[in-house]
Chains A and B, each alone.
Chain A
Amino acid sequence: QVQLVQSGPEVKKPGASVKVSCKASGYTFTSYGFSWVRQAPGQGLQWMGWISSYNNNTKYAEKFQGRVTMTTDTSTSTAYMELRSLRSDDTAVYYCGRGKWYIDNWGQGTLVTVSS
């Protein structure tokens, strides 16, 4: 069955970077792209961007342009999301998901806490 397993929780200081991984299994990795979504405490879902696992084309939300980089590694069937220049309001659970127009499988989420 399809599984997306994300890396563990992170604690970062303001100004630092974080890189979250999402390892996929149970399907042909290059057949689906990945969406990244975050959820701040008590808030709704926020789309961050999408990457094609086939050709690494990306589309980022304007809010994160210049601060986020999404990549994939087909040799390990893993997608990555790096967010730089972290601020306290970047504290959130970050989710990877399979798909673009709809997300049919989700990772378990990675809590990123930004605190001095």
Chain B
Amino acid sequence: QSALTQPASVSGSPGQSITISCTGTSSDVGGYNYVSWYQQHPGKAPKLMIYDVINRPSGVSNRFSGSKSGNTASLTISGLQAEDEADYYCYSYTSSTTLVVFGTGTKVTVL
């Protein structure tokens, strides 16, 4: 099972909005609403930001939102802040033998 495809890097200025894509297939992202997103700062454990495509856990800023169209899921960060600079990973159920799969990861830089 190959990893889901994410852009290697995305950047934006403070206050702007950015979107990170996560492209899979109809066997994973496109076929099920089990996509989640994680933020990871250097040297830290990942943190859940979005689950089941669109849901935000308690305590996560409403500047983070998730969506899906076809085989591509997206994470949008609005009102970009310096603290949003981190790596972001998507994660999805897959009907292949693997069960779940991570994305390749995206480094977000705040200019």
Mutual binders A and B: yes
A residues at B contact (CB < 8 Å): 35, 37, 44-47, 50, 59, 61-62, 95, 97, 100-109
Residues A45 and B48 in contact in the complex (CB < 8 Å), given A62-B98, A101-B36, A104-B57: no
Q: Tell me if B89 and A45 are in contact (CB < 8 A).
A: yes
How many residues in B have their beta carbons less than 8 Å from beta carbons of A? 25
Q: Tell me if B47 and A47 are in contact (CB < 8 A).
A: no
User: Quick check: is B81 within 8 A (CB to CB) of the other chain?
Assistant: no
Can you offer 19 A-B residue contacts whose CB atoms are under 8 A? Answer: A37-B46, A44-B102, A44-B103, A44-B105, A46-B102, A50-B100, A59-B99, A62-B1, A62-B97, A95-B45, A101-B100, A102-B34, A102-B36, A102-B51, A103-B36, A103-B46, A103-B48, A105-B48, A107-B45
Residues of A within 8 A of B102 (CB): 37, 44-47
Q: Tell me if A95 and B46 are in contact (CB < 8 A).
A: yes
B residues at A contact (CB < 8 Å): 1, 3, 34, 36, 38, 40, 45-48, 51-52, 57, 89, 91, 93, 97-105
Looking at the assembled complex, report how far the CB atom of B89 sits from the nearest CB atom of chain A, in whole angstroms.
5
Residues of B within 8 A of A35 (CB): 100
Q: Tell me if B45 and A109 are in contact (CB < 8 A).
A: yes
